[in-house]
Chain A
Amino acid sequence: MWSCVRYRNRVGAYLDGEMSLKQSKAVAAHVARCKACRVTLEDLRRLAPVIHALEVPPVPAGLVDHVMALAHTRAICPQMPVTWSPLEWWRMVSAPLRLAACATVLLAFFLGITIGRDVFFSGNRQATTAGVASLDGFEWFDQTPPASLGSTYLMLASNDMKGMTR
């Protein structure tokens, strides 16, 4: 059951035939017993012919020619830069595409935070790696595992240092 104010607000939709049969019957029944809403309905009925009194001058002569001249100019100079406006893009795309764009931005934001956090904390991981490498059998986790070029260089360098100090 609607309030009288709600009925009055929807009288326009009733007049325009934009209601379901059930709603229309409810409005009609209310209007039959409510003078204020009946007056509103009558005023809206009288409004239509009044509004149609508005005069419109004829289409300006040469409008088609003028539009086509501009269209041909655009066709001849296709390299003219087209200003892309993000707002214009937002207005033209459909609602699902807008949702997808927002989801993509949010996903990129959170991925960036996650990766950034991991990079920030990875400094501690290097010390942990060094500690793990000192354990027996975990030497392969060292930065220069055995038989690698790095370990060979270090071995040669340490032998050279021993030769120099003799």
Chain B
Amino acid sequence: MSDSADSDELLVQATGWGDLKSFEQIVERHQTWAWRVAYRFIGNEDDAADIVQEAFLRLLDASARYRPTAKFRTFFYRIISRLCLDRAKKKQPLYLETIPDAPDPRPGVSDAMMRHEAAVAVRSALDALPPNQRMAIVLRYYEDLNYEEIASALETTTKAAERLLARGRERLRTILENRDDFFHY
């Protein structure tokens, strides 16, 4: 079934009329990027699965009231963002001391290991950000949303979204610049 035949907006409206087959199509179509956003934000598979599951159930509950005045993705980003931020408030903050040292640059150390250690460092740096800044970074860098879309997802203004991004980037830069392999000239 092509996307042009059943747009997301139509599927959500059909879900609102009680059509669970349409809802299943929505879930299959959007589970991957929803999972990606949730995992990149929260950094934990169990929490990310809970968030994604709850997001789809909230979508199901809201489908009867859904009006296609906004794109479906914008609407769903807002639901996921809200759940991620609520979950982050309940979690303990990650301390900076857990950021691993720069990987061993000597020959013999595999690229895969170095990439993995870099990923762990990025994860730690993201976890050190305040939740709003972290979500702005995830939506910009991983989902490629523009400032207006980020503002819509975070239910704030475009200027506020820009400020969140700027502060988030500055903190990431500060945390990661201690690693020689990240910022070297």
Contacts and interface: CB of A to CB of B under 8 A. Distances in A.
Contacts of B60: 71, 74
B141 A67 contact: no
Contact of A51 (B61, B122, B155, B166): B122
B176 A75 contact: no
Contacts of B82: 91
B146 A53 contact: no
A18 interface: yes
Contacts of B72: none
Nearest to A59: B35
Contacts of A149: none
Contact of B24 (A13, A52, A68): A68
A147 interface: no
Contacts of B119: 53-55
B60 to A, nearest CB: 5
A17 B180 CA distance: 29
Contact of B173 (A44, A59, A74): A44
Interface stretch (B3-11, B26-34, B89-97): B26-34
A92 B62 contact: yes
A122 B37 CA distance: 64
B87 interface: no
Given A59-B32, A67-B57, A54 B122 contact: yes
Given A55-B116, A57-B39, A46 B183 contact: yes
Interface string A10-51: 101100101000000000000000000000000110111011
A46 B27 CA distance: 35
Given A51-B141, A52-B141, A64-B31, A71 B166 contact: no
A10 B162 CA distance: 8
B126 A54 contact: yes
B101 interface: no
Nearest to B117: A53
B36 A56 contact: yes
A72 interface: yes
A12 B31 contact: no
A49 to B, nearest CB: 10
Given A50-B182, A71-B23, A71-B57, A63 B49 contact: yes
A44 B57 CA distance: 37
Given A9-B166, A51-B141, A71-B56, 19 more contacts: A10-B162, A12-B169, A46-B182, A48-B141, A50-B176, A57-B39, A60-B35, A60-B49, A63-B31, A63-B53, A64-B28, A64-B31, A67-B27, A70-B57, A71-B23, A71-B24, A74-B57, A74-B61, A75-B18
Interface of B: 18, 20, 23-24, 27-28, 31-32, 35-36, 39-40, 45, 49, 52-53, 56-57, 60-62, 65, 82, 115-116, 118-119, 122-123, 126, 137, 140-142, 146-147, 155, 162, 165-166, 169, 172-173, 176-177, 182-183
